[in-house]
Structure 1
Amino acid sequence: MSSDNPFGEAMDEAAEDKQQEERREPSDFDLEPHYDALNAGVKDHTVGVSVSEEMHQFWRELQDTEDIDVDAAQSIRNHLENLAHRHPDVFERAMRKLEIDREM
């Protein structure tokens, strides 16, 4: 289903996301140190993303082109960080699980 007003739909979605954040019950779990650690420090884990042959070739060309200053991997990390802020309940659940795993 396509829309006659994609900008309006995006604005409505953003408003709904904000309302969901405002309705979220406060938690005693401190997420700030986890938010701070998202995009910092050693990058020693990988996230695999399946892509088409065309996208893979484009990715390789982006990496090989010296006259374009883009770090596609950092762009993906930034996007995941933004998603963590947009979906704090899911992020909190993940960080709680991470802390449990670290205790073991």
Structure 2
Amino acid sequence: MTLGGLMDQSMGRPTSILTGETCMQSRATSRASHRHALPHVIARGRAEDKSGLGSVIPKLLQLLGDEYKLQRGVKKNVDSLSKELKHIHAFLSKVSDVP
């Protein structure tokens, strides 16, 4: 026995005393389960664990949507101002040519 548990004989990696999985297998399983759980949490708008994320996630999604709309609106305004400045520049160029 080692301090971290049993050793996997094929790769020399520490294994869990309880399950026999290597630490890397255990982490991969944990990541996969979290990755598959997240869309369900977001879709339902509340977390299954009692961590308090249920009310935060919908609010964050709303803020992201609002931020996207704001940026899209700013882009339209910048395009409009750019066109207006081009027209003003053309007008001033013509006026400067007049004696």
Is TM-score (shorter-chain normalized) higher than 0.5? Answer: no
- Structure ranking higher on relative contact order (CA contacts 8 Å, 6+ apart): 1
TM-score norm. by structure 1 comes to 0.26
TM-score norm. by structure 2 comes to 0.27
The structure with the largest strand share of the pair is 2
Larger radius of gyration between Structure 1 and Structure 2 = 2
